[in-house]
Every structure is written in C-alpha cells, then in structure tokens.
Amino acid sequence: MGPAQAPGSKDLLHEIDFLTSRSSGPGGQNVNKVNSKVTLKFDVARSASLSEEQREIMLRKLGHRLTSQGILMLTVQEHRSQQKNKEAVLLKFDLVVEKAFIQPKARKKVKPGKAAKAARVKSKRLHAEKKQWRKKL
C-alpha cells in the first residue's frame, strides 16, 4: 500500500519536499556544475494526511530511517539527470512506505510429527555409531 493507495494520498505528495545538490555520480565535468542529486524530505511526525494509527506505524517501522525530528529523508544520485533522480526517489519512497504497512504473517506454532522425531533419533544413532567405529580399541 504505497502513498498512491494510502488514505489521503493526494495530500501526501503535497507534503514532500525535494532538495537538490551536486552529485558525486557519473557525469565528468557535468557533475561540478549541475545539481542532479535529489533528496526527498517527508515529515512523518507532523503529516496532516496520515491518520494517527498510520503515523505510529511509520514512526515505529521506519525509526532507523528517520531523523530525531521524525523526518524521513531519502537520497538518490544514480542518474545524471535531476528528473530521473526525482522519479527514482519517488519510487523509493513508495517502496519504503509500502513496506512499512505490510503486516507480517502470524507464525503458527507446530510440533514435529512422529516421523520427524523418528528420523532425528535415527540420524543421531547413526552418527553415534559412526563415532564408535572411529574409537581406538
């Protein structure tokens, strides 16, 4: 569920700020004069388009990616073009937000069956016998 599918997603794009700076990527002399690196800033803690529950989920799951003020910052400098980097950082943002809202499947506790137990015991017995054969008489 990316920002395009999240409730209030139309407002989400209005809350994103883009910063540009000089990239260290490919481009030769072009690198020294063109601001092609794009940094996306999204204030998760103060977002008006997120519900309180969504905000809590994002703050909890994306805590390692957030600044101390609760701002999500993503940077892309893969391409020589600022426009391509902007598109790439938006895709990256979609993936990060989508991943934050994925619910992990609940693990069902299961016990090993009789056949699995028997196979484990047999394997242990064979291993012990192999060790016995290696002993000096």
Task: Give the pLDDT band of residue 7 (cuts 50, 70, 90).
Answer: very low
Q: In what helix (H) or strand (E) does residue 55 lie, and over which residues does it extend? A: helix 52-61
Q: Where are the domains of the chain?
A: 9-100
Tell me: pLDDT of 9 over 80: no
Q: Tell me how far apart the alpha carbons of residues 132 and 42 are, in angstroms, rounded to a whole number.
A: 65
The 10s digit of each residue's pLDDT in 18-61 is 888 887 756 667 667 778 889 999 998 888 888 889 888 888 88
The 10s digit of each residue's pLDDT in 65-89 is 888 888 989 999 888 888 999 999 9
Give the fold, CATH level 3, of 9-100: Double Stranded RNA Binding Domain (3.30.160)
Please say whether the beta carbons of 76 and 37 come within 8 A.
yes
Q: Is 89 left (phi over 0), alpha (psi -120 to 50) or beta?
A: alpha
The 10s digit of each residue's pLDDT in 94-118 is 899 888 888 889 999 999 999 999 9
- Strands 37-43 and 16-21 come out as antiparallel
Q: Tell me how far apart the alpha carbons of residues 41 and 75 are, in angstroms, rounded to a whole number.
A: 9
